[in-house]
């Protein structure tokens, strides 16, 4: 019997040793902490082709920055404002710009230098130069300034095209957000053809939307494609939103900037009429033959519209609580593109036409569709 008990105790001890623990302490009656088991996991390495692709992507962005950042400048503008006690005091603002040519022309936003008493440019190598304002276009928020420095200090950008951009392609921004010189941010083109309404001003059309980080100080800096070509001029961000920035398309820059350099201002194309946007309710109230388009109310004397023979309103009609000028021509399209409101017409004129160009308006007069050719004029100052 005693031998059996000894054998049982030996088996129990062997079992406890095998399980990696000890029998309960007779003093505490608790089992001691079991010996931890350490498991070593070896991560699965990335395939060589994945590493190579990531490295190529990285090198591409690095290459763009190294080639283009020397063309990006830091702009400091000084304006005189009145204090609370109506005393004139200087105030500084900062922004970005990019070198256009070896003559020292620099493209930036109009709002970066608006009202400036003086404009100072800092180049990538630290050179500081005073700049003169060559030309401005407040409507398109573009300006050209010029510095006088040795040509070897100037590294012009390459202008690309915005006509064939695609949503989803890479967008690279370089600028001076919050005064941090030549900061790089990378994203994609989020949308194209955005029309941006501006309080008290005409809408900006065909804007590029990007999620590349754009902050105060980026204004006027370049938005680039994967080859380092300028595709837009960073302009502003949506208030209170993250990663929603907008850039003026480079095709607008290529159309406007040469005229700013040559003449100091850009001549905006003009038709010379005011019109109502036709809605189904207005069409029903006035018995119009279409539910979309522009109902011409007034035509300015001597304007391109007047010279082309377009007709304005002939009578006044009460529609609800409003008096509507009715009886004029209805414009439904320009150069075959359907038009539904004045904003759309203005954006088309600004982005697709120029002064002196002949456009074809599709109109409805007395229930009959007609096509009338109009030679665009220059929009009057202050209009």
Catalytic residue numbers read: 111, 141, 219
**Residue 251: CA atoms inside 13 Å, Cβ hemisphere, count?**
14
N- to C-terminal Cα separation, the chain: 118
Is residue 154 within 8 Å of 99, Cβ to Cβ? yes
Is residue 106 within 8 Å of 100, Cβ to Cβ? yes
CA angle 100-352-198, nearest 5°? 80
Contacting residues for 283 by C-beta, under 8 A, at least 6 apart: 289, 290, 291
Supply φ then ψ for residue 276, to 5 degrees.
-90, 150
**Each residue of 42-56: b (16+ CB within 10 Å) or e?**
eeeeeeeeeeeeeee
């Amino acid at each position: 019997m005693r031998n059996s008990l000894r054998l049982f105790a030996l088996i129990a001890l062997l079992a406890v040793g095998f399980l990696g623990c000890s029998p309960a302490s007779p003093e505490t009656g608790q089992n001691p902490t079991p010996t931890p088991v350490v498991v070593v996991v070896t991560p699965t390495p990335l395939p060589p082709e994945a590493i190579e692709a990531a490295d190529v992507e990285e090198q591409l962005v690095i290459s763009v920055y190294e080639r283009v950042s020397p063309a990006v400048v830091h702009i400091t503008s000084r304006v005189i404002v009145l204090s609370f006690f109506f005393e004139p005091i200087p105030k500084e603002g900062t922004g970005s710009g990019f070198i256009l040519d070896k003559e020292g022309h620099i493209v930036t936003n109009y709002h970066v230098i608006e009202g400036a008493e003086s404009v100072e440019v800092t180049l990538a190598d630290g050179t500081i130069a005073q700049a003169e304002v060559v030309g401005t276009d407040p409507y398109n928020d573009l300006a050209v300034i010029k510095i006088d420095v040795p040509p070897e200090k100037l590294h012009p950008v390459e202008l690309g095209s915005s006509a064939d951009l695609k949503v989803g392609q890479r967008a690279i921004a370089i600028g001076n957000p919050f005064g941090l010189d030549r900061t790089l941010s990378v994203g994609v083109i989020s949308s194209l053809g955005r029309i941006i309404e501006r309080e008290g001003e005409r809408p900006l059309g065909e804007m590029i939307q990007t999620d590349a980080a754009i902050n105060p100080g980026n204004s006027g800096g370049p938005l680039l494609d994967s080859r380092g070509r300028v595709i837009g001029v960073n302009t502003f961000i949506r208030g209170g939103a993250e990663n929603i920035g907008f850039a003026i398309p480079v095709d607008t820059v290529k159309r406007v900037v040469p005229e700013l350099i040559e003449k100091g201002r850009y001549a905006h194309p003009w038709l010379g009429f005011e019109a109502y946007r036709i809605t189904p309710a207005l069409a029903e109230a006035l018995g119009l033959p279409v539910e979309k388009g522009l109902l011409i109310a007034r035509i300015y004397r001597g304007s391109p519209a007047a010279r082309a023979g377009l007709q304005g309103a002939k009578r006044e009609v009460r529609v609800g609580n409003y008096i509507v000028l009715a009886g004029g021509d209805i414009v439904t399209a320009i150069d075959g593109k359907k038009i539904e409101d004045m904003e759309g017409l203005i954006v088309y004129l600004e982005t697709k036409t120029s002064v002196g160009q002949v456009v074809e308006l599709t109109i409805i007069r007395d229930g009959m569709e007609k096509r009338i050719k109009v030679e665009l004029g220059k929009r009057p100052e202050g209009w």
